[in-house]
Amino acid sequence: MTQDELKKAVGFAALKFVKPDSLVGVGTGSTASYFIDALATIKDQIKGTVSSSEASTQKLKDYGIPVLDCNEVDSLDVYVDGADEINHQLQMIKGGGAALTREKIVSALSKQFVCIVDESKVVDVLGKFPLPVEVIPMARSYVARELFKLGGKPIYRQGVITDNGNVILDVHDLIIAKPMELENRINNIAGVVTVGLFANKGANVALVGTRSGVKEIKPSY
């Protein structure tokens, strides 16, 4: 199976976590896009969705799936999204698609986070994938210097403006031994909107696409 076929398999497998009449958080990226294809097959059975990006919103609307404003809902029953890396505690690096801030908001609202990934995303230690940080444009150089002090090499993602009008710094060469601490530290830098570490609130379950089928993984502590 190709990587794309594995992504499709987990996108469709996630449907089992979507209960009738539920409110569904929808992620961003190529794996989440397959989940939207799957969701379209049961669109009449759900109450609606909250989306984590303009791109996902457009795809949901093209299918005629109702998209609610985040401010209209108190909570979401489930959030389904991909990740750039996930460890065995189900902590993640996200933001490869620059949607990390809205993804973190949708995750915060959700009772359950179902992470859908192909097996190449599962790691023992987070940090090989450059860690995305969304930054207010005027703070870009200051935040880059602060990230450098933490031991990483921040690279400005040229030509990318997030859905919130901000820029992204991708931090290379980090070995993230203490993901929760690092998430808090980076979020505390003035000018940082969000870091793409989802450690303090990770996924509740991961569906991992492997050549021998979709595996369901719970966090190991």
Q: Which residues are catalytic?
A: 103
> With respect to ligand 5RP, which residue has the nearer C-beta, 95 or 130?
95
Given 57, 76, 84, 167, the residue binding ligand 5RP (CB under 6 A):
84
> With respect to ligand 5RP, which residue has the nearer C-beta, 23 or 106?
106
What whole-number distance in Å separates Cα of residue 88 and Cα of residue 71?
33
Q: Quick one: three-class SS letters along 24-73? A: EEECCCHHHHHHHHHHHCCHHHCCEEEECCHHHHHHHHHCCCCECCHHHC
Q: What character string, x for contact with ligand 5RP (CB under 6 A) and - otherwise, covers 87-126? A: -------xxxxxxx--x-----------------------
Decide if residue 30 touches ligand 5RP (CB under 6 A).
Answer: yes
Phi, psi of 59 (to 5 degrees): -65, -40
Decide if residue 81 touches ligand 5RP (CB under 6 A).
Answer: yes
Decide if residue 28 touches ligand 5RP (CB under 6 A).
Answer: yes
Contact 189, 154 (CB under 8 A): no
Q: Which are the contacts of 90, defined by CB distance < 8 A and separation ≥ 6? A: 115, 202, 203, 204, 205, 206, 217, 218, 219
Decide if residue 31 touches ligand 5RP (CB under 6 A).
Answer: yes
Work out how close the CB of 85 gets to ligand 5RP at its nearest, in angstroms, rounded to a whole number: 9
Query: Which residues lie near ligand 5RP (CB under 6 A)?
Result: 27-32, 81-84, 94-100, 103
